[in-house]
Amino acid sequence: MNPLAAQKRRVQKTQFFQDLDKLDQYMHDDSDDTVHTSEVQQPSFALHEPSRPKKRTETFNIRRPRTAYRPPSTETSANNRVNERDLVSTKGKEGGPASSGAKNIQRTYLFLHPEPEFGPLFDKDTSYIIVDDKLDLKEALKDLRTSADVSKTPMVRMRWLVDCFRDHTVHDMRSSLFRVRGMKDPFCILDNEDVQAVAPAPKDAKSAMVMCAFNRPKLERPMTQDDFAQAIDFVQKVGLLDYQQFVDGESASEEVQPGRIGKKPESAECFNSRLQDFLCKEKNDGSSTNPNLQTMYILQQLAIYYERVGDKWRNLGYRKAVTALRYQQTPVRTKQDALLIRGIGESIADKIEEISTTGHLRKLEMAKADPHEQCLIIFMGIYGAGLKQARRWLSQGHRTLEGLLYNAELTPNQKIGVEHYEHFQARIPREEVRRHAAIVGEVLSSVDPGLQVIIGGSYRRGKADCGDIDLLITKADASLDHIRKLMTQFAIPELKKRGFLKAELSVSQSHDNGSKWHGASVLPNSSAWRRLDMLYVPWDERGAAMIYFTGNDIFNRSVRLLASWRGMRLNQHGLYENVMRGRGRTKITEGKVLEGKDEKKIFELLGVPWRPPEHRNL
């Protein structure tokens, strides 16, 4: 069998649709978008790399529409089912923040955020001024630094754009929800303490649609990265977040406060009433809005539920279903309708019907109310415990972490996981990550000045806080053996001696070809144990390892997927071509290494425009 064809087929099955969409849009940005251009309601991004990538505040264009729902290269369209692409491309209503119905309308968004490194550029082509939630009008105007008349350009909160993208509709920018602090409507300019309207709202702001009745979480942190990447990041994240967390006022990846073990989330009743609120605010004027929001919402809850209980495949299935629904332009109410959509099968079709007839899903409500569920979540948060172990403990009657500690059989790692549960759950401030790395770096250079420490993970992606500390250890022209030897024989013992490394959770033995150290570290005069991962990387693989260790997850999967479209294979060791697999998926040949050293070159060979780490928060 032609390996390329086999690869391709595999790719089709993989179909991490939403991931692909995102990546595809990044990667094919400069491609001709006429073929798949259609009046897609989904306002898709056509995001241009800023010409000066280091600039934080940047205008960029959002034009629409351009959505190939799946990358054209994977299309065989051998099925005769109506799939989401067909539905999407049939016809569309106007929609999207840049909406005016015409194709390829260009809108320029000027983003203002709290830490502008360069003055934002306002000019006559600026269509909207998007203001970070943390800024008020005064501050925004200060940042604008222009003497031009901005009164005719609407100014709205970031949230407006986010909601528009999320809901595929043009929200009324005059809504108080989207109002910049200190403004009365998008066209108001501060006049001393007074506020006065200067211009009428433009036409495309008129389709009023106020659907968000609850508080959005704040941005996870101030916008310290390029706004362009930040906007995408945020928009996409919002699309995936659990609404419940909005309601609770928590952001998903925000710090988990210690001492909340066993505390239940808000009750289902409250959640439902909020949902009602949410839906009722929808204006019933037939204007464009996603007709399946409620269904999507509930299915999304289920996806998150399955993620929590560790059923990754069901999680995947539900996520795919939600994505598929997002592209529907009409309400999907019956099982038959639902079954026509690719990505939705028997089970989900049943649920869709139940949701649209009863308005809720019994399964979900039961799951939410189940105290076992709460325990399960806690237990699975223990390092070294997964779904199986959590269930086992549960069935043995354990209900609390203390109970586990005293009564359950724990592996050494699990014991550490329980004892340091709260610390391991806590987010680690960026600065602390740096300090951990500095200590490692100091010791390593005393062992061998050639050793290098590179901080990876979310730190390298510019996040304000991290879940753990990822360090990549390498040395110029060194082999893995050499580096491992230096580490296991000298560096690790020294770090332990200093009291920095507190525990070893998963450590490669010096004799084999292992390449990692997982454990816990603690700063001097601190009691907070942190999860520290070190990856030993031979010099020639540092590029691939950097990609792997920088992530994020979605980015990695997407890049790997792209590699397989191109008949290549990417892993932490390098980019390979001509990989052949025999029966049982055993590798016949590793394939030829195309590149491993140079991160940029790997991107290049894949035909992917280089993206700095901060732009990989998909």
Footprint of DNA (CB under 7 A): 9-10, 12-14, 16, 79, 310, 313-314, 316-318, 320-321, 342-349, 380, 382-390, 411-413, 468, 470, 504-509, 512-516, 518, 531, 533, 549, 557, 560, 571, 585, 587
Residue 109 or 459: which CB sits closer to DNA?
459
Least distance (Å) between residue 447 CB and DNA: 19
The gap between the terminal CA atoms of the chain, to the nearest Å, is 35
Please name the residues in contact with 363: beta carbons below 8 A apart, sequence gap of 6 or more. Answer: 302, 351
* Encoded tokens for 64: 């629409």
Measured CA distances, 597 to 54, 92, 477, 544, 546 (Å): 24, 46, 11, 7, 9
What are the residues facing 105 on neighbouring strands?
Answer: 64
How many Cβ atoms sit within 10 Å of the Cβ of residue 367? 18
Residue 56 or 616: which CB sits closer to DNA?
616
Please name the residues in contact with 230: beta carbons below 8 A apart, sequence gap of 6 or more. Answer: 113, 223
Residue 238 or 321: which CB sits closer to DNA?
321
Residue 385 or 568: which CB sits closer to DNA?
385
Least distance (Å) between residue 10 CB and DNA: 5
Least distance (Å) between residue 468 CB and DNA: 5
Helix count (H) and strand count (E) of the chain? 25, 18
Name the DSSP class of 517.
Answer: E
Residue 110 or 355: which CB sits closer to DNA?
355
Least distance (Å) between residue 79 CB and DNA: 6
How far is Cα of residue 368 from the mean position of the Cα atoms in its chain? 24
DSSP secondary structure of 420-486: THHHHHS-EEHHHHHHHHHHHHHHHHHH-TTEEEEE-HHHHTT-SEESSEEEEEEETT--HHHHHHI
Least distance (Å) between residue 9 CB and DNA: 7
Residue 399 or 557: which CB sits closer to DNA?
557
Name the DSSP class of 330.
Answer: S
Least distance (Å) between residue 607 CB and DNA: 20
Q: Can you tell me the distance from the alpha carbon of 374 to that of 262, in angstroms, rounded to the nearest whole number?
A: 7
CB of 95 closer than 8 Å to CB of 288: yes
Which 3 state secondary structure label does DSSP give 195? strand
Pairing of strands 128-131, 105-112: parallel
Residue 390 or 491: which CB sits closer to DNA?
390
Least distance (Å) between residue 175 CB and DNA: 36
Least distance (Å) between residue 535 CB and DNA: 8
Residue 386 or 499: which CB sits closer to DNA?
386
Kindly state the helix (H) or strand (E) to which residue 306 belongs, with its residue range: helix 293-308
CB of 190 closer than 8 Å to CB of 144: no
Q: Can you tell me the distance from the alpha carbon of 145 to that of 477, in angstroms, rounded to the nearest whole number?
A: 50
Q: Scanning the structure block, which residue is given the tokens 């996603």?
A: 290
Least distance (Å) between residue 411 CB and DNA: 4
Residue 279 or 387: which CB sits closer to DNA?
387
Residue 436 or 560: which CB sits closer to DNA?
560
Q: Scanning the structure block, which residue is given the tokens 């280089």?
A: 610
CB of 437 closer than 8 Å to CB of 448: no
Least distance (Å) between residue 3 CB and DNA: 12
Least distance (Å) between residue 312 CB and DNA: 8
What are the residues facing 531 on neighbouring strands?
Answer: 520
Residue 348 or 495: which CB sits closer to DNA?
348
Least distance (Å) between residue 426 CB and DNA: 14
DSSP secondary structure of 84-114: HHHHHHH-----STT-SSSTTEEEEEEEE-S
Sheet with 575-577, side-by-side order of all strands: 568-570, 575-577, 592-595
Q: Scanning the structure block, which residue is given the tokens 């809850």?
A: 301
Residue 284 or 586: which CB sits closer to DNA?
586
